[in-house]
């Protein structure tokens, strides 16, 4: 629920709303926002979440910018406004909320904690250099620092002036902006600021920023902004203006417009907005990615082959094989990868499309594993297999993701330390500062490398064996005391445990010789429901507590996937006794 507002605000301040979103687009977006307004009048961080100030303020603002009046929606707008004011007003929104409101002109930039672009000029050897951050965090900070450094504010229209009256308890001109910098509603405070962070922001705000706004500090700011813009253009060009994700996409798009409203870059951004929009029964929404095409295709093929339905789905397999082959990266990004903070790409696969430009470790693994499976089928059915040299490139790319502890992160190696979370500026998102290793990525890597080793036993055998062993040891070390693994995606503990067991079994572990697998089976059996299936609430991810699996809300609507995973793992473990 926090993705579409950034797009709406960007289109509004660049005066491109009607050029990008037709009246039908706007109608469906309004319908989506109304459909997911909570009964108390607010909006959550996601469609099942309780109301937050972040979600409520930005979605209320989006509806106003899309033409809704303060009394529109049969009273829904008034309910939304009452929730916001009843919980303290928009001064209590999160840092991301403050940023977007400032862009719109509904919040003063002095009410934001600094996002100084000068940090991009620091030496890379420093552990807190932004080039060491997780790619998503880095690529959101990058355009944010440009927009903040410019102190950009959109046109002050009548709607903007009205929002200044609607969103705050106090008169806009009487708000103490410095005081509200660190204020946040209790409903939003999932990841509170550390004391160290508050001192850092205060020092930057009171002492550094005033220097950067006047000569000679302004010369350094200009240099920093130029460097930041170079990196923004590089990212845009190497993702064909899709960008790594939707948050980064709209920020880059806005930065390009601020640099030059008539730029070719901004014009090239516009048609790629539609890659993120999705129309469903509840209205039009914005996705976090431009899809999951490669990921879905790989698992669909694996399911067809596992069910021995090759003859029935021959044409489907051929088309899917073509897509997988066409989605592999054949080259690295241009230029000095170290300068642009990019990992190698050649041989990898993306989560979605090759245009998106970002290979990921687990997607590379699933692309490789699926290509190997399809290579065993007659070319008359599945088409010509992936060339051997491209498989070698995939293995090289995949193994390059392994960290020293044996774990695999998402897009890159882990480049810094977990203590950077002390300066995580987001009150809403936890563990976002570095690219952490994940059991899912590590498991996919093991499965792919084990499959490759069977078909190509002579290719870098020692390196492949060592990679598999280290990765399996990482998975064992990441197991929780109750036998589960925390999953970073999907249905959390059931999903994470599925990947944990699949990775260990691919490495040669069995129910008989592995205490970890036996503990995992005990965990799954302990969570089986009286009806025979498995279910899991999203709260288990949010609270990092497997006991939240048992807190079922409307659980019958989402029991199939966890049940499938649980049942599959029990059967798999039984086969390995």
Contact 51, 43 (CB under 8 A): yes
Both tokens of 455, joined, read 């078909």
Cα–Cα distances in Å, from 241 out to 232, 248, 280?
Answer: 10, 10, 24
Per-residue tens of pLDDT for the chain, all 577 residues: 999 999 999 999 999 999 999 999 999 999 999 999 999 999 999 999 999 999 999 999 999 999 999 999 999 999 999 999 999 999 999 999 999 999 999 999 999 999 999 999 999 999 999 999 999 999 999 999 999 999 999 999 999 999 999 999 999 999 999 999 999 999 999 999 989 999 999 999 999 999 999 999 999 999 999 999 999 999 999 999 999 999 999 999 999 999 999 999 999 999 999 999 999 999 999 999 999 999 999 999 999 999 999 999 999 999 999 999 999 999 999 999 999 999 999 999 999 999 999 999 999 999 999 999 999 999 999 999 999 999 999 999 999 999 999 999 999 999 999 999 999 999 999 999 999 999 999 999 999 999 999 999 999 999 999 999 999 999 999 999 999 999 998 789 999 999 999 999 999 999 999 999 999 999 999 988 888 888 888 888 888 887 755 544 344 444 555 655 665 666 666 565 5
SS3 assignment, position 216: coil
DSSP letters spanning 303-356: HHHHTT-TTTTHHHHHHHHHHHHHHS--SPPSS-TTTTT----TT--BSS-GGG
- Per-residue confidence (pLDDT) for residue 557, from 0 to 100: 41
Burial 530-552 (b: 16+ CB within 10 A, else e): eeebbbbbbbbbeeeebebbeee
The DSSP symbol for 387 reads P
**How far apart, in whole angstroms, are the C-alpha atoms of residue 480 and residue 482?**
5
Architecture of the domain spanning 4-186+194-286: Alpha/alpha barrel (1.50)
Region label for 89, one of left (φ > 0), alpha (ψ between -120 and 50) or beta (otherwise)? left
Cα–Cα distances in Å, from 295 out to 277, 283, 369?
Answer: 19, 25, 12
**How far apart, in whole angstroms, are the C-alpha atoms of residue 17 and residue 10?**
8
Q: Is the dihedral of CA 386, 388, 393, 395 positive or negative?
A: positive
Cα–Cα distances in Å, from 135 out to 87, 150, 250?
Answer: 34, 23, 16
From the list 471, 360, 406, 339, the residue with the least C-alpha distance to 136 is 360
Find how far residue 427's CA is from the centre of its chain. 16
- Per-residue confidence (pLDDT) for residue 577, from 0 to 100: 54
Find how far residue 166's CA is from the centre of its chain. 32
How far is the first Cα of the chain from the last one, in angstroms, to the nearest whole number? 46
Q: Which residues contact 555 (CB under 8 A, 6 or more apart)?
A: 535, 537
Alpha helices by DSSP H, 527-559: 539-543
Beta bridge partners of 286: 277
* E-state strands within 9-71: 43-44, 51-52
Q: Which residues contact 209 (CB under 8 A, 6 or more apart)?
A: 114, 116
Phi then psi dihedrals of residue 179, to 5 deg: -70, -30
Residues serving a catalytic function are: 362
Contact 427, 189 (CB under 8 A): yes
Contact 201, 116 (CB under 8 A): no
3-state helix, strand, coil in the chain (%, to 5): 60, 5, 40
**How far apart, in whole angstroms, are the C-alpha atoms of residue 235 and residue 34?**
34
Q: Reply yes or no: is the peptide bond before residue 216 cis, omega within 30 of 0.
A: yes
Domain coordinates in residue numbering, the chain: 4-186+194-286, 292-413+441-455
From the list 496, 483, 395, 403, the residue with the least C-alpha distance to 443 is 496
Cα–Cα distances in Å, from 184 out to 98, 103, 192?
Answer: 10, 19, 9
From the list 450, 507, 496, the residue with the least C-alpha distance to 473 is 507
Maximum Cα interatomic distance, the chain, rounded to a whole number of Å: 74
**How far apart, in whole angstroms, are the C-alpha atoms of residue 228 and residue 216?**
19
- Compute the half-sphere exposure of residue 441: CA atoms within 13 Å on the CB side of its CA: 25
The DSSP symbol for 94 reads -
- Per-residue confidence (pLDDT) for residue 537, from 0 to 100: 84
Q: Which residues contact 512 (CB under 8 A, 6 or more apart)?
A: 576, 577
Q: Which residues contact 140 (CB under 8 A, 6 or more apart)?
A: 247, 248, 251
Contact 332, 400 (CB under 8 A): no
Question: The whole model's pTM is what?
Answer: 0.95
Contact 465, 134 (CB under 8 A): no
**Dihedral angle at the C-alpha atoms of 375, 378, 384, 389, nearest 10 degrees?**
30
Q: Which residues contact 429 (CB under 8 A, 6 or more apart)?
A: 190, 191
């Amino acid at each position: 629920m926090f993705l579409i507002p950034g797009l709406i605000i960007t289109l509004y301040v660049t005066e491109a709303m009607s050029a990008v979103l037709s009246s039908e687009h706007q109608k469906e977006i309004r319908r989506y926002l109304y459909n997911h307004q909570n009964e108390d009048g607010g909006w959550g961080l996601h469609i099942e979440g309780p109301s937050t100030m972040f979600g409520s303020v930005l979605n209320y603002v989006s509806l106003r910018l899309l033409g809704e009046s303060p009394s529109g929606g049969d009273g829904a707008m008034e309910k939304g406004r009452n929730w916001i004011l009843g919980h303290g007003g928009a001064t209590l929104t999160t840092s991301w909320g403050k940023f977007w409101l400032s862009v719109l002109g509904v919040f003063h930039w002095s009410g934001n904690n600094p996002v100084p672009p000068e940090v991009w000029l620091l030496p890379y050897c420093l552990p807190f250099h932004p080039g060491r951050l997780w790619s998503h965090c880095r690529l959101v900070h990058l355009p944010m620092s440009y927009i903040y450094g410019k102190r950009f504010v959109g046109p002050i229209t009548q709607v903007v002036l009205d929002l200044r009256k609607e969103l705050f308890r106090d008169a806009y001109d009487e708000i103490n902006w410095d005081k509200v910098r660190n204020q946040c509603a209790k409903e939003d405070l999932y990841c509170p600021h550390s004391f160290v962070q508050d001192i850092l922001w205060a020092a930057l705000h009171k002492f550094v920023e005033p220097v950067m706004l006047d000569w000679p500090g302004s010369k350094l700011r200009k240099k920093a902004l130029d460097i930041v813009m170079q990196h923004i253009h590089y990212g845009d060009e190497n993702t064909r203006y899709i960008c790594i994700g939707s948050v980064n996409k709209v920020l880059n798009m806005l930065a390009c417009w601020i640099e030059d409203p008539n730029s070719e870059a901004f014009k090239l951004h516009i048609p790629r907005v539609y890659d993120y929009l999705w129309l469903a029964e509840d209205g039009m929404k914005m996705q976090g990615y431009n899809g999951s095409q490669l990921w879905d295709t790989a698992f669909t093929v694996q399911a067809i082959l596992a069910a021995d339905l090759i003859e029935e789905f021959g044409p489907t397999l051929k088309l899917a094989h073509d897509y997988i082959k066409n989605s592999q990266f054949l080259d690295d990004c241009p230029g000095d990868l170290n300068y642009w903070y990019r990992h190698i790409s050649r041989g990898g696969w993306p989560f979605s499309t090759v245009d998106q430009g970002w290979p990921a470790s687990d997607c590379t693994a699933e692309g490789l594993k699926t290509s190997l499976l399809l290579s065993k089928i007659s070319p008359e059915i599945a088409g010509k297999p992936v060339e051997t040299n491209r498989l070698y490139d995939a293995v090289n790319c995949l193994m390059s993701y392994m960290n020293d502890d044996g774990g695999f992160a998402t897009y890159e190696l882990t480049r810094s330390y977990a203590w950077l979370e002390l300066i995580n500026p987001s009150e809403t998102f936890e563990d976002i500062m570095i690219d952490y290793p994940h059991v899912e990525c590590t498991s996919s890597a093991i499965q792919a490398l084990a499959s490759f080793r069977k078909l190509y036993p002579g290719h870098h055998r020692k390196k492949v064996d060592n990679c598999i062993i280290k990765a399996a040891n990482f998975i064992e070390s990441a197991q929780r005391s109750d036998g589960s693994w925390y999953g970073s995606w999907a249905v959390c503990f059931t999903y994470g445990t599925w990947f944990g067991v699949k990775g260990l079994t691919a490495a040669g572990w069995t129910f008989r010789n592995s205490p970890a697998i036996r503990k995992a089976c005990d965990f799954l059996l302990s969570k089986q429901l009286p009806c025979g299936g498995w279910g899991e609430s999203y709260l288990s991810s949010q609270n990092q507590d497997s006991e939240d699996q048992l807190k079922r809300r409307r659980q019958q609507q989402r029991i199939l996937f966890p049940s499938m995973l649980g049942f599959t793992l029990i059967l798999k473990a039984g086969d390995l006794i």
